[in-house]
Amino acid sequence: MARPDPREIAEQVAQALAEDVGGGDLTAALVPESALAEAAVISRQEAILCGRDWFDEVFVQVDPGVTLDWACEEGAALHDGVKVCRIHGPARSLLTAERTALNFLQTLSGTATRAAAYVRAVSGTGARILDTRKTVPGLRMAQKYAVTCGGASNHRIGLHDAILIKENHIAAAGSISAALGAATEVARQAGGVEIEIEVEDLEQLTEALEAGARRVLLDNFDTDLLREAVATNAGRARLEASGGVSLETIRAIAETGVDDISVGDITKDVRSVDYSMRFL
Instruction: Write down the pLDDT at residue 46.
Output: 97
Which position among 219, 228, 255, 274 bears the catalytic label?
Answer: 219
Strand pairing class (275-279; 77-78): unpaired
Instruction: Write down the pLDDT at residue 107.
Output: 98
Q: How confident is the model over 24-50, as pLDDT tens digits?
A: 999 999 999 999 999 999 999 999 999
Which position among 3, 83, 99, 140 bears the catalytic label?
Answer: 99
Strand pairing class (83-90; 67-70): antiparallel
Which position among 56, 198, 207, 260 bears the catalytic label?
Answer: 198
Q: How confident is the model over 52-61, as pLDDT tens digits?
A: 999 999 999 9
Any catalytic annotation for residue 46?
no
Any catalytic annotation for residue 268?
no
Q: Are 205 and 233 in contact (CB under 8 A)?
A: yes
Q: Is the per-residue pLDDT at 2 higher than 80?
A: no
Q: Is the per-residue pLDDT at 79 higher than 90?
A: yes
Taking the CB of residue 108, how many other CB atoms lie within 10 A of it? 31
Work out the mean pLDDT of the chain and round it to a whole number: 96
Q: Is the per-residue pLDDT at 244 higher than 90?
A: no
The helix or strand, by DSSP H or E, that contains position 251, with its residue range, turns out to be helix 250-254
Confidence of residue 261 (pLDDT cuts 50, 70, 90): very high
pTM across the whole model: 0.94
Any catalytic annotation for residue 166?
yes
CA distances from 235 to 91, 209, 238, 259, 268 (A): 61, 11, 7, 10, 31
216 Cβ contact partners less than 8 Å away, ≥ 6 residues apart: 196, 197, 198, 199, 205, 208, 209, 233, 237, 238, 239, 240
| Average pLDDT rounded to a whole number, residues 174-203 | 95
- HSE (side-chain half, CA atoms, 13 Å) at 93: 22
Which position among 44, 166, 194, 210 bears the catalytic label?
Answer: 166
Which position among 3, 83, 134, 238 bears the catalytic label?
Answer: 134
Any catalytic annotation for residue 144?
no
252 Cβ contact partners less than 8 Å away, ≥ 6 residues apart: 223
Q: How confident is the model over 161-177, as pLDDT tens digits?
A: 999 999 999 999 999 99
Any catalytic annotation for residue 198?
yes
